[in-house]
Chains A and B, each alone.
Chain A
Amino acid sequence: MTGRIWAVALNTFREAARIRVLYGILVLVIGANLLALVLGEMVAGEEARVARDVGLAGISLFGSLTAIFLGVFLLYTEVQRRTIHVIVSKPIERWEFVVGKYLGMALVLTVLVALFAAAMIAMLVLQDVGVSSAVAKALVLAWLEVLTVAAIAIFFSSFSTPFMSGIFALAMWAIGRVTPDVEAASRDAAPWIRALTRVTLEIVPDLHLFAVSGRTLDGAHVSIHADMVSWGYVGVASLHGLGWIVGLLALAALLFHRRDFV
Chain B
Amino acid sequence: MTFSVERGHIFGFVGPNGAGKTTTIRTLMGLIRPSGGEATILGQRIPSRAARFKVGFLPESPYFYDYLTVGELLDLAGRLFGVPSDVRKKRADELISRVGLDRARTQNLKKFSKGMLQRAGLAQALMNDPELVVLDEPMSGLDPIGRKEVRDLILSLRDQGKTVFFSTHILSDVEAITDQVAIIARGQLQAHGTPAELLRRTVLGVDVTVRTAPELAPERLAELTAGATRVRQVGDELSLVLAADADVDAWLARAHAVGAKVVQVAPRHETLEELFLREVASADATRGARA
Partners in one complex: yes
Whether A81 and B79, one on each chain, are in contact in the complex, defined by CB atoms closer than 8 angstroms, is: no
Interface stretch of the complex, out of B8-16, B59-67, B235-243, B247-255: B59-67
| Chain A hits for B52, CB < 8 A | 89-91
Closest B residue to A261 using CB positions: B31
| Chain B hits for A89, CB < 8 A | 29-31, 52, 55, 57, 59
Whether A7 and B76, one on each chain, are in contact in the complex, defined by CB atoms closer than 8 angstroms, is: yes
| A73 and B223 alpha carbons, distance in the complex (Å) | 74
Whether B26 and A86, one on each chain, are in contact in the complex, defined by CB atoms closer than 8 angstroms, is: no
| Chain B hits for A18, CB < 8 A | 67
| Chain A hits for B23, CB < 8 A | 262
Whether B64 and A86, one on each chain, are in contact in the complex, defined by CB atoms closer than 8 angstroms, is: yes
Is residue A88 contacting chain B, with contact meaning CB distance below 8 A? Answer: yes
Whether A88 and B30, one on each chain, are in contact in the complex, defined by CB atoms closer than 8 angstroms, is: yes
Is residue A11 contacting chain B, with contact meaning CB distance below 8 A? Answer: yes
| A210 and B259 alpha carbons, distance in the complex (Å) | 100
Shortest C-beta distance, A7 to chain B (Å), equals 4
| Chain A hits for B65, CB < 8 A | 11, 14-15, 83
Is residue A215 contacting chain B, with contact meaning CB distance below 8 A? Answer: no
Whether A90 and B81, one on each chain, are in contact in the complex, defined by CB atoms closer than 8 angstroms, is: yes
Shortest C-beta distance, B52 to chain A (Å), equals 4
Whether B82 and A88, one on each chain, are in contact in the complex, defined by CB atoms closer than 8 angstroms, is: no
| Chain B hits for A88, CB < 8 A | 30-31
| A235 and B230 alpha carbons, distance in the complex (Å) | 87
| Chain A hits for B33, CB < 8 A | 258, 260
With A15-B67, A260-B31 known as contacts, the answer to whether A85 contacts B59 (CB < 8 A) is: yes
Whether A90 and B77, one on each chain, are in contact in the complex, defined by CB atoms closer than 8 angstroms, is: yes
Name A91's contact: one of B53, B64, B76 (CB within 8 Å).
B53
With A4-B80, A91-B80 known as contacts, the answer to whether A85 contacts B63 (CB < 8 A) is: yes
| A56 and B55 alpha carbons, distance in the complex (Å) | 50
Shortest C-beta distance, A259 to chain B (Å), equals 9
| Chain B hits for A11, CB < 8 A | 65, 68, 76
Is residue B203 contacting chain A, with contact meaning CB distance below 8 A? Answer: no
Whether B32 and A82, one on each chain, are in contact in the complex, defined by CB atoms closer than 8 angstroms, is: no
| Chain A hits for B124, CB < 8 A | 86
Shortest C-beta distance, A92 to chain B (Å), equals 5
Is residue B256 contacting chain A, with contact meaning CB distance below 8 A? Answer: no
Per the 8 Å Cβ criterion, residues 192-217 of A in contact with B are none
Is residue A93 contacting chain B, with contact meaning CB distance below 8 A? Answer: yes
Name A7's contact: one of B55, B62, B79 (CB within 8 Å).
B79
Is residue A3 contacting chain B, with contact meaning CB distance below 8 A? Answer: yes
Shortest C-beta distance, A104 to chain B (Å), equals 12
Is residue A246 contacting chain B, with contact meaning CB distance below 8 A? Answer: no
Please give the number of chain A residues whose Cβ is less than 8 angstroms from any Cβ of chain B in the complex: 25
Is residue B49 contacting chain A, with contact meaning CB distance below 8 A? Answer: yes
Whether A87 and B59, one on each chain, are in contact in the complex, defined by CB atoms closer than 8 angstroms, is: no
Contact mask for chain B residues 77-116; partner A; CB cutoff 8 A; 1 contact, 0 none: 1011110000000000000000000000000000000000
| A49 and B255 alpha carbons, distance in the complex (Å) | 108
Shortest C-beta distance, A106 to chain B (Å), equals 19
With A3-B79, A91-B52, A92-B80 known as contacts, the answer to whether A83 contacts B31 (CB < 8 A) is: no
Whether B32 and A261, one on each chain, are in contact in the complex, defined by CB atoms closer than 8 angstroms, is: yes
Per the 8 Å Cβ criterion, residues 15-38 of B in contact with A are 23, 26, 29-33
| Chain B hits for A6, CB < 8 A | 79
Whether B32 and A87, one on each chain, are in contact in the complex, defined by CB atoms closer than 8 angstroms, is: no
| Chain A hits for B128, CB < 8 A | 90
Whether B26 and A261, one on each chain, are in contact in the complex, defined by CB atoms closer than 8 angstroms, is: yes
Whether A90 and B32, one on each chain, are in contact in the complex, defined by CB atoms closer than 8 angstroms, is: no
| A258 and B31 alpha carbons, distance in the complex (Å) | 10
| A73 and B2 alpha carbons, distance in the complex (Å) | 40
Name A86's contact: one of B32, B53, B62, B82 (CB within 8 Å).
B62
Per the 8 Å Cβ criterion, residues 118-168 of B in contact with A are 121, 124, 128
| Chain B hits for A15, CB < 8 A | 65, 67
Shortest C-beta distance, A20 to chain B (Å), equals 12
| A219 and B214 alpha carbons, distance in the complex (Å) | 114
Show 17 residue pairs from A and B whose CB-CB distance is below 8 angstroms, ordered by the A residue: A4-B79, A8-B80, A11-B68, A83-B65, A86-B57, A86-B64, A86-B121, A89-B59, A90-B52, A90-B77, A91-B81, A93-B49, A260-B33, A261-B32, A262-B23, A262-B26, A262-B31
- 4 more CB-based (< 8 A) A-B contacts, given A83-B64, A92-B80: A8-B80, A86-B124, A90-B81, A260-B33
Q: Which 8 A-B pairs have the closest CB atoms?
A: A7-B79, A90-B80, A91-B52, A89-B57, A85-B59, A261-B31, A89-B29, A82-B63
Using a CB–CB cutoff of 8 Å, the interface residues on chain B facing chain A are 23, 26, 29-33, 49-50, 52-53, 55, 57, 59, 62-65, 67-68, 76-77, 79-82, 121, 124, 128
